[in-house]
Structure 1
Amino acid sequence: MLPSETLLFGQGRFRVKKPKLSIRVFHFSDYCAYLKAAYDELCGHDPSVSFRKLQKVAGYSETSNHLWMRMHGHAPLSQQAAQRYARVFGLKTREIQFFMLLAAMNQAKTDEDRNAYLEQMMEFREFRESRINNPADYYSPWYLPILRATVGLDDFKEDPAWIAERLLMPITKKEVEKGLQKLFAIGYLVRDERGSLRLSSPFVGAYEDRHDPDPITILNMRNYDRAMIELAHNAVGKQPQSQKFIVGNTLHISRRQALAMRDIVRKCLREIEALASKDEAVEVVYRVNMQLFSLSKWTDEEQK
């Protein structure tokens, strides 16, 4: 039997009880995933639940596929529709507000807008708590991977002032302190038998991270990539040639060659990581940026 409150929605044969789901909307970073999970739970409690029934209760035609299309990302979910379906699934006021922000963030056209919506989502305590100690947030804030690499230096000192002074990028002692705490909490740093901070593994990230399906993780990685490119931009004029190596070439190539170059870059990164893993003195922190991007538009046929 469907767990519910006494409040009823709809009229006639579409009159259904307001559900109380066990899943929490604050634990989701994809509105489509939430709609699917909520629908599946309702169906598990009540076999009479259907797309037609729920979208009719939400105020849409029972003969359309309105809910299914939006649940699977085949049609945009407007703010009005997000609010209506949130109510159908029994969400309360704050949960509705969060769901509407989540839908807006997922469907935003630019990362600037996505970051703005995410900032508003982070104001919800339940959502913040759901992402505490989440390894997927390794790239947020962007300087966490740099702090982690700094811990691997042979002369590392667990002193925020020492770390801030050692790094070339602007970072405060407070940011260092909070960053180390987060890295320890999410498992990328550990303490050895003497209580000293150590790396939990030699390497983290690289190419495989780009396949993470979580929208927030993807956004964090893009923010991180921009920050790393900005650091490279600053290094062009500030670092001596002996400490940097910035090269590139502009080519006219085939689409097949562009894909082949990805494999070459990926292999090169693996070779660099293998070199860095050799047992030698660890004296400096370096960033290896590898960019391969188009400077001209692809034809419609090529983009498929």
Structure 2
Amino acid sequence: MKDILTYTSYRQYIADYYADKKAKSAFTWQDFADEAGFSSRVYLKYVSEGRFNLSEEATIRVAKAMHLVDYEREFFAEMVKFDNAKTDADKKTHFRKMLSMAEAHKAKILEGDAFRYFESWKHQVLRELAPAMPGAKPLALAHACRPDITAAEVTAALSFLVKAGLLKKDEQGRYIQTDTYVSTGPMDVTPVAVRGLHRQMGEIALEAIEGVPQDQRHFSGLTLGITRDAYGEIVQKIAEFRKELVAIATRDSATDEVYRLNVQFFPMTKKGINKKG
């Protein structure tokens, strides 16, 4: 079974623990429940499936039943807190603790790099900008960014991008992208960072309305009355449109500017406005 420090979901860890024990013995969910002190034989099965949540007290009992010790119990508890957190800010706090614990014990959370990448707009911009300005020093890259950032922030961002394998340096010290496109993928933790990124990019877009000449930016919008079926069709069209834009942007290896496109499609009325009374 994988080291607990490589997990981000306590539910998946419980499921994997059960599967591992089951493969080696006649272990049952009833046995698991008995060891953790639960009367319901399917309680932990339902927890692993997302039907029930663990309380703080139940977390301690389950960790003990799985024979977790010291930092393992603490890490398991942080996973539970991350899952139970109601706000993105709280989720980020607990996930950062998980990352810190994993790094302290020389383990790697697979989603850690993705979380950090999407947590800041600087990573996205510098991943595009550094290869477009070969040989440029951090201060020059900082001056090219909008909004303004410091050379120290550039250095930290580039160091992370190289460490995460999103950029690499050639023999001349020039930065090169390892992939032309980075997507979030089907991860559990990354969406927390992505939502924060959308907020950052939305704030930058607001600044651009006044701070960027009109011939260098494009803002437009539509307000539409739609059905639920139309919503699904429009979202699919947006996905196809994004793919087309990526193809246009990547067909030429040169970069003159780094642009951001925000595609936002959200309700401005409450649900059920057309329901019959």
Question: TM-score normalised to the size of structure 1?
Answer: 0.81
What is residue 157 of structure 2 aligned with on the other side?
179
Cα displacement (A) at 1:220: 1.8
What is residue 269 of structure 1 aligned with on the other side?
242
2:77 is equivalent to residue 77 of structure 1: no
Native 8 Å contact 2:14 2:48 kept in 1:
yes
Which of 33, 36, 45 matches 2:15?
36
2:132 is equivalent to residue 159 of structure 1: no
Which of 86, 107, 120 matches 2:97?
120
Cα displacement (A) at 1:128: 7.6
What is residue 4 of structure 2 aligned with on the other side?
25
What is residue 237 of structure 1 aligned with on the other side?
210
SS in 2 for 1:57: helix
Cα displacement (A) at 1:192: 3.0
SS in 2 for 1:38: helix
2:38 is equivalent to residue 60 of structure 1: yes
Mark the CA change 1:96 to 1:134 in structure 2 (over 3 Å): closer, same or farther.
closer
Q: Distance in 2 between matches of 1:255 and 1:241?
A: 35
Mark the CA change 1:121 to 1:193 in structure 2 (over 3 Å): closer, same or farther.
closer
Deviates more, 1:129-138 or 1:116-125: 129-138
Any gaps of 5 or more consecutive residues in structure 1? Answer: 1-21
What is residue 179 of structure 2 aligned with on the other side?
201
Once the two structures are superposed, residues 133-180 of structure 1 have per-residue CA deviations (whole angstroms, 9 ceiling, x without a partner) of: 965343234421111010232x44341111111101232222211211
Which of 167, 181, 190 matches 1:189?
167
Choose 1 or 2 for highest CA Rg: 1
Q: Distance in 1 between matches of 2:91 and 2:11?
A: 16
Mark the CA change 1:227 to 1:128 in structure 2 (over 3 Å): closer, same or farther.
farther
What is residue 248 of structure 1 aligned with on the other side?
221
Deviates more, 1:220-229 or 1:32-41: 220-229
Which of 249, 259, 262 matches 1:289?
262
Q: Distance in 1 between matches of 2:112 and 2:96?
A: 17
Native 8 Å contact 2:134 2:175 kept in 1:
no
Q: Distance in 1 between matches of 2:15 and 2:242?
A: 38
Mark the CA change 1:71 to 1:131 in structure 2 (over 3 Å): closer, same or farther.
closer
Q: Distance in 1 between matches of 2:46 and 2:111?
A: 34
Cα displacement (A) at 1:186: 2.1
Q: Distance in 2 between matches of 1:133 and 1:176?
A: 22
Native 8 Å contact 2:7 2:109 kept in 1:
no
- Matched to 1:112, the amino acid is A
2:68 is equivalent to residue 95 of structure 1: no
What is residue 221 of structure 1 aligned with on the other side?
194
Cα displacement (A) at 1:39: 1.3
Which of 149, 165, 176 matches 2:128?
149
Mark the CA change 1:53 to 1:133 in structure 2 (over 3 Å): closer, same or farther.
closer
Mark the CA change 1:81 to 1:170 in structure 2 (over 3 Å): closer, same or farther.
farther
SS in 1 for 2:168: strand
What is the percent sequence identity of the aligned residues? 25
